[in-house]
């Protein structure tokens, strides 16, 4: 095993970087890779070789013309695949393999920008530099800073940007008490959802007696629409390892586990590559950084059960048992993995730790709000122009995120004409809905808790006025009902019955008493469930009831879905003014519910109609309306 000299290695890598004429960074996140980023890389290699131009795909000491890296997710998912050219910081969007030759000739060799590949602002003007694009301009990327810049599989690049310097400082020159007090002073709170102070969790573990303790990284990101942790693990896995080393020093741990769901194969692969490189260079294993500290990490792949995001269920899964939550106390800090004191933090929390050590607790605490310090990553999805991965300081408003960073609300067909905001589901199935009245509320732990929502892991699903809130509540309730481990009756049966009541509302079988019963049952499930899954499962229902009760009553009293999304409540009618009496709808109706002739207007028998929508699909004259 080699002991690496980080500063010497950094200077060597800096010299390597200075020799290149240009640095080509291709987004290697899951989305861009799925859209052809791999083919773009191969095309760069092939064409540069054809043109007798040398290329390095890993920083090399020999002189070459260009250097190409495959980064993690750069966040601007809606515009991928992305190619960035440094030092000019030119960002090309929606790049295809066919564009590579032009990029080489005009940008790498000619020094020109290609306007057609640049992002266009609202006025249609091309924007060349990444930092001037509204999507990036209003962010404050800290945990994500290197995710779209460095090659995730190259330890050298991480070291070039001061990687592992914080861990080295902690291991060689700080006591465990100093580390805990520094993290506590920074105000860092758990980014996995609960928001518990990280420094306090570490201190609770540190003071436990015994020579064996563990650090666990919770990478079991299961919220629908959430991909923050995945992108950090894919884009900067070394930051997670460094955070775990610092946590191990703080609590006195000798072993660590990264628990990742098996649906994240790229994250698993890159974590294992990072661990192997760290071991080879004396950063993990025995006598790390030449000290007396021993700490190693292994990756544990989970089967994808949402409940395993809960600490005690995750511990059971690592131990080889079925992932089911256990009553607390004792807490993992007292009795965790294999009965030993254990500290568990999620990916984003651990990736933030090295930056706090580097910049200082006071500087980090100055970001965000008074009680919610620092920044938070969010997965911005749904009916918004620019979906992707963002990072903003706590205190940023929904309006800023949706309008300025996200480019505004869009219709289901992708257009923005007449599109209007309705709600945002924050925090996934554990969170709640935010509405028009919350657009200018600073987002932080306390403000969200006050209105019955939570930050959660950071999912933000934007909804337009075409969205049915009963269908949204059904979607999340179906998810939590499927993911309930079944251990406690209140959660297992309560979520099942809540889903059945929502079905009754959506299908026209409900009464006003149904809504009251749904609300009462939701409160019961929240109070009586054992773990966080059951306790927060009713949140989407309760928040939609609170802010969209009129929509529930419209379904129940008038048997009408205002958004036209509930199939059973659709009322198909043929408009006699636009009907051409061609009879195609009658011929295609599977139950013969349509009658008429060339002389008599066609009509739909509401009692026979099964609301399949075939008549509307086949009508060439848009004569079938939905009431």
CATH number of 570-626: 3.30.70.20
Four-point Cα dihedral 420, 423, 424, 426, nearest 10: 170
Residue extent(s) of CATH 3.40.50.11540 domains in the chain = 162-365
Q: What is the mean pLDDT of each run of 10 residues along the chain (627 residues)?
A: 79 85 90 92 95 84 84 89 93 96 95 94 88 90 89 91 95 96 95 87 94 94 81 94 98 96 90 95 93 95 82 92 87 94 95 95 93 92 92 94 93 79 87 90 89 82 94 92 87 94 94 95 92 86 94 94 88 90 93 91 89 91 86
Q: What is the pLDDT of residue 452?
A: 80
Q: What is the pLDDT of residue 122?
A: 83
Q: What's the whole-model pTM score?
A: 0.89
Q: Determine the Cα–Cα distance for residues 615 and 318; give it in Å rounded to an integer.
A: 54
Residue extent(s) of CATH 3.30.70.20 domains in the chain = 570-626
Q: What is the pLDDT of residue 2?
A: 64
Residue extent(s) of CATH 3.10.20.600 domains in the chain = 375-467
C-alpha radius of gyration, the chain, whole number: 27
The secondary structure of 74-143 as a DSSP string is: -S-GGG-S-EEEETTTEEE-S--GGGHHHIIIIIIIT----GGGSEE-TTS-EE-BGGGSHHHHT---ST
Report helix, strand or coil for 314. helix
Burial of 237 (0-12, 13-18, 19+ CB in 10 A): buried
CATH number of 162-365: 3.40.50.11540
Question: Do residues 260 and 219 lie in contact, with contact meaning Cβ atoms separated by under 8 Å?
Answer: yes
Q: Determine the Cα–Cα distance for residues 202 and 196; give it in Å rounded to an integer.
A: 11
For residue 306, give the nearest of 474, 75, 536 by alpha carbon: 536
* Helices 165-173, 6-18: inter-axial angle, 10-degree rounding: 170
Residue with tokens 């992002």: 119
CATH number for 375-467: choose from 3.10.20.600, 3.40.50.300, 3.40.1010.20, 3.30.565.10.
3.10.20.600
CATH number of 470-557: 1.20.1440.230
Residue extent(s) of CATH 3.40.30.10 domains in the chain = 11-137
Assign a CATH topology to domain 11-137.
Answer: Glutaredoxin (3.40.30)
Residue extent(s) of CATH 1.20.1440.230 domains in the chain = 470-557
For residue 448, give the nearest of 397, 400, 402 by alpha carbon: 397
Q: Please give the structure tokens belonging to residue 592.
A: 């013969």
Q: Spell out the residues 6+ positions from residue 1 whose beta carbon is closer than 8 angstroms to its own.
A: 279, 280, 281, 282, 285, 286
């Amino acid at each position: 095993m080699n002991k690496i000299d980080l500063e010497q290695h950094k200077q060597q890598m800096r010299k390597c970087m200075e020799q290149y004429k240009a640095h080509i960074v291709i987004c290697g996140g899951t989305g861009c890779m799925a859209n052809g980023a791999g083919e773009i890389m191969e095309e760069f290699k092939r064409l540069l070789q054809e043109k007798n131009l040398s290329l390095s795909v890993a920083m090399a000491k020999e002189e070459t013309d260009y250097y190409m890296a495959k980064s993690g997710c750069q966040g601007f998912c809606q515009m991928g695949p992305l190619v960035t050219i440094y030092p000019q910081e030119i960002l090309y969007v929606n790049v295809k393999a066919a564009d590579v030759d032009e990029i080489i000739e005009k940008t790498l060799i000619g020094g020109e920008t290609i306007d057609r590949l640049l992002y266009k602002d609202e006025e249609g003007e091309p924007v060349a530099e990444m930092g001037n694009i509204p999507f990036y301009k209003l962010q404050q990327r800290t945990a994500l800073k290197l995710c779209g810049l460095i090659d995730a599989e190259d330890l050298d690049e991480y070291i070039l940007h001061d990687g592992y310097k914080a861990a080295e400082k902690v291991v060689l020159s700080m006591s465990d008490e100093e580390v805990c007090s520094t993290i506590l002073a920074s105000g860092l709170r758990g980014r996995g959802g609960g928001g518990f102070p990280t420094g306090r969790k570490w201190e609770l573990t540190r003071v436990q007696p015994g020579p064996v303790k563990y650090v666990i990284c919770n990478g079991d990101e299961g919220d629908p629409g959430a991909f923050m942790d995945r992108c950090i693990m894919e884009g900067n896995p070394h930051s997670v390892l460094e955070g775990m080393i610092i946590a191990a020093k703080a609590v006195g741990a000798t072993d660590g586990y990264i628990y990742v769901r098996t649906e994240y194969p790229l994250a698993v692969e890159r974590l294992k590559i990072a661990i192997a490189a760290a071991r080879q260079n004396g950063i993990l294993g025995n006598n790390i950084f030449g000290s007396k500290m021993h700490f190693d990490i292994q990756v544990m792949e989970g089967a994808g059960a949402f409940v395993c995001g809960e600490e005690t269920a995750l511990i059971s899964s690592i131990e080889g048992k079925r992932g089911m939550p256990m009553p607390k106390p004792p807490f993992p800090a007292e009795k965790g993995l294999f009965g030993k004191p254990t500290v568990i933090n999620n990916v984003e929390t651990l990736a933030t730790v090295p930056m706090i050590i580097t910049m200082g607790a006071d500087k980090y605490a100055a970001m965000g709000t008074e009680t919610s310090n620092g920044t938070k990553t969010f997965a911005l999805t749904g009916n918004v122009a620019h979906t992707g991965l963002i990072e903003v300081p706590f205190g940023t408003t929904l309006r800023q995120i949706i309008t300025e960073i996200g480019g505004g609300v869009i219709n289901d067909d992708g257009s923005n004409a007449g599109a209007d905001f309705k709600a945002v589901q924050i925090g996934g199935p554990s969170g709640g809905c935010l509405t028009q009245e919350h657009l200018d509320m600073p987002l932080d732990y306390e403000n969200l808790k006050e209105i019955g929502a939570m930050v959660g892991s950071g999912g933000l699903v934007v909804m337009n006025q075409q969205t049915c809130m009963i269908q949204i509540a059904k979607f999340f309730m179906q998810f939590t009902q499927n993911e309930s481990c079944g251990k406690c009756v209140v959660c297992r049966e309560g979520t099942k019955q809540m889903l059945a009541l929502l079905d009754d509302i959506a299908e026209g079988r409900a009464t006003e008493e149904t809504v009251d019963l749904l609300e009462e049952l939701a409160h019961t499930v929240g109070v009586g469930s054992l773990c966080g899954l059951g306790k927060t499962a009713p949140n989407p229902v309760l928040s939609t009831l609170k802010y969209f009760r009129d929509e529930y009553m419209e379904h129940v009293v008038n048997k009408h879905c205002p958004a036209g999304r509930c199939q059973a409540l659709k009322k198909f009618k043929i408009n006699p003014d636009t009907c051409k009496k061609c009879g195609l709808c009658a011929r295609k109706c599977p139950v013969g519910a349509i009658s008429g002739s060339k002389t008599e207007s066609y009509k739909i028998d509401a009692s026979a109609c099964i609301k399949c929508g075939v008549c509307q699909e086949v009508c060439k004259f848009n004569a079938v309306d939905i009431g």
